[in-house]
Amino acid sequence: MVTNESDGYLSGRLIQWSLRPQAIPFNEPEYRELIDRYHERQEFRALVREIASGLGLTVLTVTDRGMFLGTEDDSAFALRPSSFRTGQTSADDRLLDGLVQVAIASAIYPKQRDLDEDVTDAKPPVTIEDVDRVLREMYDAYKRVAASEPDPESSDIERGLVEAWRVYEGRPAISMTPQGRRSANSTQGLIEKHLEQLVEYGCFTADRHSKSVAYRPALRYQVLVRELAAAKLYQRVKQLCGDHNQ
């Protein structure tokens, strides 16, 4: 039971539970009680949000499946591009990392209207090949737009996209290592790397019983993409894919 502790302490406990990607209230009695307390007590709810804000965190949503947090840019808990890579990385690799993350989100939410559905509705799984196909469709759309608009706009986002697609054009869809695995230098190898890391972060689960591993988005990922969808980069890339808020 958690009722004998101060609200300040319990607020910290709830935030700590929410920072554990694999924690599920159904399996953790304390987490479940704290979720109930959050819903039932306005003062506790306000305190949780205040402490979270001080840590550079934003409470996105709280359900019986957990509390889901976003991060401010300067938060110590924010994931950086380096979080997906160890050691030294090239600028080209970092550009492709951004494209792959947008392609994964686009594979889960192919249309703008998909984002308007209940966030708790389960989404179908995707494979590495699915995401690679979306990425190539995005590239084909980009080439068509670039042919009609040869001079990119002056914004940092437009310049970054032009450079990212230039790097992407030089990468093969798939190449294999001597050990028979996808090479990280190929687009499918890079997609696999990102999906596997999203599994580690509790954003996806992986079904490895078939030839092509199926990655199913978790509620955590679906909540985060709702926030990501407001980003200018995501909107611009979706426009290139022909999704005009349908």
d(CA 69, CA 15): 9
Place of tokens 């949503």: 61
d(CA 70, CA 25): 19
Using a 10 angstrom Cβ sphere, with 0-12 exposed, 13-18 middle and 19 or more buried, the burial of residue 147 is exposed
Angle made by CA atoms 189, 166, 100, in degrees to the nearest 5 = 35
pLDDT in tens, the chain (246 residues): 555 689 999 999 999 999 998 899 999 999 999 999 999 999 999 999 999 999 999 999 999 999 999 888 778 877 665 666 655 566 777 778 888 888 999 899 888 788 888 888 889 999 999 999 998 888 888 788 777 765 655 566 667 777 888 888 888 877 777 777 787 778 898 899 999 999 988 899 999 887 789 999 999 999 988 877 766 666 767 666 555 444
Model confidence, pTM: 0.81
What lies within 8 Å, CB to CB, of 185 at 6+ separation is 171, 172, 175
d(CA 182, CA 169): 18
Domain boundaries defined on the chain: 7-71, 81-240
